[in-house]
Amino acid sequence: MPVAASAIYFLNLRGDVLINRLYRDDVGGNMVDAFRTHVMQTKELGTCPVRQIGGCSFFYMRISNVYIVIVVSNNANVACAFKFVVEAVALFRSYFGGVFDEDAIRNNFVLIYELLDEIMDFGYPQNLSPEILKLYITQEGVRSPFSSKPTDRPVPNATLQVTGAVGWRREGLVYKKNEVFLDIVESVNLLMSSKGSVLRCDVTGKILMKCFLSGMPDLKLGLNDKIGLEKEAQLKSRPAKRYRITEGVNLPFKVLPTIKELGRSRIEVNVKVKSVFGAKMFALGVVVKIPVPKQTAKTNFTVTSGRAKYNASIDCLVWKIRKFPGQTESTLSAEVELISTTTEKKSWTRPPIQMEFQVPMFTASGLRVRFLKVWEKSGYNTVEWVRYITKAGSYEIRC
């Protein structure tokens, strides 16, 4: 793996070194002078956070009134370096009562040096979890008088926490009822032309899990191969996975708009919405926003389900349907009367129709959970809950 840091410097806004730590001998001690001369004095701090100076790479980030600069001389993982800075600042704030600035560094330089020795070894990041580090670095930082001291819950068995892969979970947890909740949450993004052809379509989803399980169980999750995920995944880390697909999307709704401009004073609007998901399913909170011109004076509606009204603040006909069953269709017909103006010479550019909805137990990507197994050495019984939710992201239909 490429190295993340050969040296790290903490500078104030004047360029003075507050703290520095050399992890490798491939960079000299005067690297910070090159950073001051070529970056800070030339006022190029806001242009790019990565600079090449004299055969070395400088990655820098400003946090409050402190610049954190990482120097490397060979191949480096830039994303890893910036991630290390973000996690390190979060760690320092947990020790300093939520504050990280020049005064906090000056008041806690001994503690910072001790932490820098633990969180990076020879340029490679190590464990940066505050819960783990506070088990064996028990020194408290000098806190700001305006910060509140957080309540730290003691975590037993420090050796297991440090050497194992379960830094986010305490040992010895016990629940009266052992349950695990798995949510598949997807957002559908669509842009459709007025003729019904799909211009852009994708689904972004995430797999969320919340556990109320005693002890230290192993969870095995089995998925189908619709999105290229592993069919079986043993959950050894924090259960959160994101994905995105652009092909094979099952659209929950089809919208067929017809808008006719009858002269300059009247518009006829007809919108048909069809639900494509199963007949036993239903959508909740369906909202269709149909744009109209700004000079709208009067509207008359006819809807087969739900309610509609004209919202002058957003220049839209807002059609709301509380519960939309699957394999059905609803229509809206409206007559819009416009105010005749002589100053308005530009033709009306029709914004797209927008939809909002939420469909439980439906996935636009086709992702399904095949099984969810829980194993714990005591062999207790568990209750598994799986829920699917599909909602609208940017769901637009041109008219």
Which of the four pLDDT bands, split at 50, 70 and 90, describes residue 330? very high
Rounded percentage of the chain residues whose pLDDT exceeds 70: 85
Task: Tell me the pLDDT tens digit for each residue of 190-238.
Answer: 999 988 889 999 999 999 989 899 988 888 888 886 554 443 444 443 4
**What is the spatial distance between Cα 343 and Cα 359, in angstroms, rounded to a whole number?**
45
Q: Quick check: 353 pLDDT over 70?
A: yes
Contact present, 285 and 297 (Cβ < 8 Å): no
Nearest to 289 by CA among 187, 397, 196, 186: 397
Nearest to 131 by CA among 104, 100, 170: 170
Q: What is the mean pLDDT of residues 93-118?
A: 90
Residues 6+ apart with CB under 8 A from 164: none
Q: Would you state the pLDDT for residue 263?
A: 81
Q: In sequence order, what DSSP letters do the residues of 129-145 get, joined into one string?
A: -HHHHHHH--PPP---T
Dihedral of the CA atoms 4, 7, 13, 16 (nearest 10)? 180
Of 27-31, 214-218, 296-300, 380-384, where does mean pLDDT reach its minimum? 27-31
DSSP H/E element including 112: helix 109-119
Q: What is the mean pLDDT of residues 343-350?
A: 71
Which of the four pLDDT bands, split at 50, 70 and 90, describes residue 302? very high
Which of the four pLDDT bands, split at 50, 70 and 90, describes residue 26? confident
- Amino acid identity at 325: P
Which of the four pLDDT bands, split at 50, 70 and 90, describes residue 45? low
**What is the spatial distance between Cα 291 and Cα 47, in angstroms, rounded to a whole number?**
40
Q: Would you state the pLDDT for residue 342?
A: 53
**What is the spatial distance between Cα 29 and Cα 71, in angstroms, rounded to a whole number?**
11
Task: Tell me the pLDDT tens digit for each residue of 243-260.
Answer: 889 888 999 999 999 999
Q: What is the mean pLDDT of residues 351-363?
A: 96
> Which domains are delineated in the chain?
7-134 (3.30.450.60), 180-228+236-250+363-397 (2.60.40.1170), 253-360 (2.60.40.1170)
Q: Is the CA virtual torsion 247, 248, 252, 257 positive or negative?
A: positive
- Paired sense of beta strands 253-262 and 266-275, if any: antiparallel
Task: Tell me the pLDDT tens digit for each residue of 142-169.
Answer: 765 554 444 444 444 454 445 445 555 6
Q: Would you state the pLDDT for residue 169?
A: 66
Mean pLDDT of the chain: 84
